[in-house]
Amino acid sequence: MKLTQDLYKSSLGLFTDLYQITMAYGYWKSGTTEKEAVFNLYYRKNPFNGGYAICCGLDYAIDYLQDFSLDESDLEYLGKLTGNDGKPLFEKGFLKYLSEMEFNCDIDAIPEGSVVFPNEPLVRVKGPLFQCQILETALLNIINFQTLVATKAARLSIAALGEPILEFGMRRAQGIDGALAASRAAYIGGCSATSNVLAGKLFDIPVKGTHAHSWVMSFDSEEEAFEAYAQAMPNNCIFLVDTFDTIEGVKKAIVEGVKLRERGYEMVGIRLDSGDLAYLSIEARKLLDEAGFENAKIVASNDLDENIITSLKSQQDAQINVWGVGTKLATAFDQPALGGVYKISAIKNAKGEWDYKIKLSEQAIKTSNPGIQQVRRYFRNGESVADMIFNEVDEIPQAPVIMDPMDNTRRKKINKSLEYKDLLQPVFRKGKLVYERPGIKEIKNHVQEELGTLHKSIKRFANPHQYPVGLEENLFKLKTNLTLQLRKVE
């Protein structure tokens, strides 16, 4: 899919915060637009009090970057903006510069569907300071939300123990694009299908759906409603049975299921959308099995999340086969934002050397990391055992030491015999796409492969084990020295 062409039909050049453009104007005025800089997009804390995240949104970002430009109407709009004195906010020369600008940054990113952890750069942008700055808002918007939803979907997939999860959140999502991005990320994270038909078309996601309570209520009786639906859709019959009396609804669905079978079709199953899902699913299963519908599925919805699904499966013996999850998935209900940030970490000086940068804070978690950062993941017998954030320009020891950026007493020596891979991969070079984009099903499979490399203690929902992630010792020392210099500590 081409994001701007297929979805928006217009330029996304102004999809940014005003302060990105005012800073870009300041760079232009000060003659620093072409200074080479490095920015990193990362998050500080795992979502949902979990042990990991699933990075997502890169394909969206690629489309955005490939189409990055400002059209005539964008420039006309900027030209009409005024400052406090009523005069134009931007000079015409700046608008001309924007009109001639061509995207030519280097972008490296961790592939979509990868397991990631706090402080690791998910996207690294290197190029002209002016361009790096303008890209901030859009990249954060794309990566933050889709990573959040993909992570939620992965947690749901773990809770369901491989049973299908249907993403039903379109009507509760935050707007049209919120629904589309959520459907895509949810499928990548572990859902089997979506109810969102446009997402199915745009992203090649399987679509699933049956009927609502309004269908049943539009007829004089439940029997008549089921019969009419079976006549209209004999090859897609999952009957919603809880409009009036759930158990009676199941019995009526069975009657219609028998009629379908006589016509050469098979009832797919029933759906429960309210009430005591455990009790009702157990009773429904008994009725279905006794009537010879052992293969009929029981689909459940009704404000489900990973904790409710875990309880229904492991503690209440619910007889549910398919899980429909809407609001709490598409809106990432219990954590509405990932909190990803985009920070400068290096800038070239007049001598062509890198000056490393950090942002200080009274809160240690908000002090950024310097350097041309890369992430190296170490493995033992196929299991991920540690991640090291290091400065690409430094020589890495054979047996490096990683240090927790929040606690310098926590450190880990990496055995030199461990296998490893570097996670950030080239995506753009001088504005040209060099990355082979995987299909959505390949990304989805990658999620499951990645989760399979994690110890189960990291994947549990309550008090997960903290996966070791640290700064390579030389990078940690660089950060410490910069901190002391900025705080003027001798």
What end-to-end distance do the CA atoms of the chain give, in Å? 55
Sheet bearing 354-356, strands edge to edge: 354-356, 341-348, 36-42, 123-128, 106-109, 425-429, 432-433
User: Has residue 354 been placed in a domain?
Assistant: no
Look up the domain containing 274 and give its range. 209-314
Neighbours of 321 (CB within 10 A): 17
Give burial (CB, 10 Å; 0-12/13-18/19+) of 6.
exposed
Residues forming beta bridges with residue 429, ordered by sequence position: 432
User: Has residue 114 been placed in a domain?
Assistant: no
Strands 269-272 and 401-404: unpaired
Cβ contacts of 232 within 8 Å, gap of 6 or more: none
Q: What is the pLDDT of residue 381?
A: 96
Question: What is the rounded average pLDDT of the residues 422-433?
Answer: 98
Q: At 324, which amino acid appears?
A: G
Buried b (16+ CB within 10 A) or exposed e, 57-78: bbbbbbbbbbbbebeeebbeeb
Confidence at 208, pLDDT banded by 50, 70, 90: very high
Residues forming beta bridges with residue 240, ordered by sequence position: 271
User: Has residue 281 been placed in a domain?
Assistant: yes
Cβ contacts of 417 within 8 Å, gap of 6 or more: none
Question: What DSSP state is assigned to residue 82?
Answer: B
Tokens of 105: 């940054």
How far is 450 from 360, CA to CA, in rounded Å?
Answer: 33
Q: How many folded domains does the chain comprise?
A: 1
How far is 81 from 93, CA to CA, in rounded Å?
Answer: 15
Q: What is the pLDDT of residue 490?
A: 54
Q: What share of the chain has pLDDT > 70, as a percent? A: 98
Matching residue, tokens 């859009």: 138
The SS3 of residue 65 is: helix
Residue 489 has pLDDT above 80, yes or no: no
Cβ contacts of 112 within 8 Å, gap of 6 or more: 55, 56, 57, 58, 59, 188, 438, 443, 446
User: Has residue 219 been placed in a domain?
Assistant: yes
Taking the whole predicted model, whether its pTM rises above 0.85 is answered as: yes
70-83 pLDDT, tens digit per residue, is: 999 999 999 999 99
Q: What is the pLDDT of residue 447?
A: 98
Residue 239 has pLDDT above 60, yes or no: yes
User: Has residue 240 been placed in a domain?
Assistant: yes
State the average pLDDT for the chain: 95
Tokens of 125: 């942008």
Confidence at 362, pLDDT banded by 50, 70, 90: confident
Q: What is the pLDDT of residue 342?
A: 98
User: Has residue 375 been placed in a domain?
Assistant: no
253-273 pLDDT, tens digit per residue, is: 999 999 999 999 999 999 999
User: Has residue 260 been placed in a domain?
Assistant: yes
Question: What CATH number is attached to the domain comprising 242?
Answer: 3.20.20.70
Question: What is the rounded average pLDDT of the residues 139-146?
Answer: 98
Question: What is the rounded average pLDDT of the residues 118-141?
Answer: 97
Q: What is the pLDDT of residue 409?
A: 84
Q: Which sign, positive or negative, has the C-alpha torsion 238, 239, 242, 243?
A: positive
Instruction: Please name the helix (run of DSSP H) or strand (run of DSSP E) that holds residue 142, with its range, or none.
Output: helix 136-159
Range list of H helices, 6-135: 18-30, 58-66, 72-80, 92-100, 129-134
User: Has residue 303 been placed in a domain?
Assistant: yes
Q: What is the pLDDT of residue 363?
A: 86
Residue 9 has pLDDT above 90, yes or no: no
